[in-house]
Amino acid sequence: MQPAHTFRNIGIISRPRRSNLSEVVPPLLSWLKDHGIYVAYDQETASSLAEPSEGRSREQVAAASELLLVLGGDGTLLAAARVAAPRGIPILPINMGSLGFLTSFMLEELYPALEDILAGRLTISERVMLHAELERGDKILDKQTVLNEVVINKGALARMIELELSIDQDFVCRYRADGLIVASPTGSTAYSLSAGGPIVHPSVESFIITPICPHTLSDRPVVVGDNSIIEVKLSAGTESVFLTLDGQKGIPLQATDRVRISRAQQLLKLIQTPNKSYFEILRNKLKWGEA
């Protein structure tokens, strides 16, 4: 539980082309206006309104807000996390998708959650994020901060790729695989889980390194402390390889490129329902105990 805070500026970020946004957004805007809240919303949210309205970019919405309300699934939340975390803005995630490990509030819980937030009744989980740097030669070509995972994977028709893994400058092994996932604890229930990685509680300060379809069956997932510096190097001759960040941005890689992954300085503040524990969410989403 966090100390009471009065939010007067709330931003809305929505999943693109969600069919029921037109039913949700107009009454939501009226409710917020009646409670004296200034609202900034993105272009996707604006497109759901009957009267023409110009939305802002997501960066502009975050810059004008003290809290972000995300209407969508986990993919929408991952995009919102990149603009919220650097500003220290908490996110209230409302599940309008399907699975939704991160969007723990259902649509029917929207207004009770807002009432609790405006009354200062907040339950916030701080989530570790990953900082990734792409190095080519002696130059850093790109830097990104993501919530779930950094993935190095082969193209659709490419052969198995070769990767060298080092942790804190200590050589670990050389993989022949379809790719490699470096995930945060939050991302342990995403791509890493489908590739055979473990589920790690968000409070565990760790990174999960999971090979994708490794050639050697003894190549298993590894969990290391999140104070580690993880470096992955492409072997010479490797072709058609991509660096994928939270499944939303892909960057073509070249042979001998290096990807360096560390803990990001900023944390994501994620508002959670006090009525559902982490394990209850897992049971519901993964159908544990069901025949």
Domains assigned to the chain: 9-123+272-286 (3.40.50.10330), 129-265 (2.60.200.30)
How far is residue 11's CA from residue 58's CA, in Å, rounded to a whole number? Answer: 9
What are all long-range contacts of 140-144, with beta carbons under 8 Å and residues at least 24 apart? Answer: 141/251, 142/251, 144/245, 144/249
CA torsion sign for 84, 88, 93, 98 is positive
Residue tagged active-site, from 34, 42, 74, 226: 74
What local confidence, expressed as pLDDT, does residue 122 receive?
80
**Is pLDDT of 4 > 70?**
no
**Is pLDDT of 97 > 70?**
no
**Is pLDDT of 3 > 60?**
no
**Is pLDDT of 14 > 60?**
yes
How far is residue 228's CA from residue 91's CA, in Å, rounded to a whole number? Answer: 27
What local confidence, expressed as pLDDT, does residue 278 receive?
86
Average pLDDT on 96-121 reads 86
**Is pLDDT of 260 > 70?**
yes
**pTM recorded for the entire structure:** 0.92
**Is pLDDT of 2 > 50?**
no
Confidence of residue 217 (pLDDT cuts 50, 70, 90): confident
Confidence of residue 285 (pLDDT cuts 50, 70, 90): confident
Confidence of residue 265 (pLDDT cuts 50, 70, 90): very high
Average pLDDT of the chain? 91
Residue 85 token pair: 């975390």
- Is 34 catalytic? The answer is no
How far is residue 176's CA from residue 184's CA, in Å, rounded to a whole number? Answer: 23
Confidence of residue 162 (pLDDT cuts 50, 70, 90): very high
**Is pLDDT of 16 > 60?**
yes
Confidence of residue 238 (pLDDT cuts 50, 70, 90): confident
What local confidence, expressed as pLDDT, does residue 263 receive?
98
What local confidence, expressed as pLDDT, does residue 99 receive?
66
**Is pLDDT of 38 > 80?**
yes
Burial of residue 265 (number of CB atoms within 10 Å: 0-12, 13-18, 19+): exposed
Reported as a single tens digit per residue, the pLDDT across 239-254 is 789 999 999 989 999 9
Neighbours of 165 (CB within 10 A): 20
13 or 273, which is more confident? Answer: 13
Confidence of residue 237 (pLDDT cuts 50, 70, 90): confident
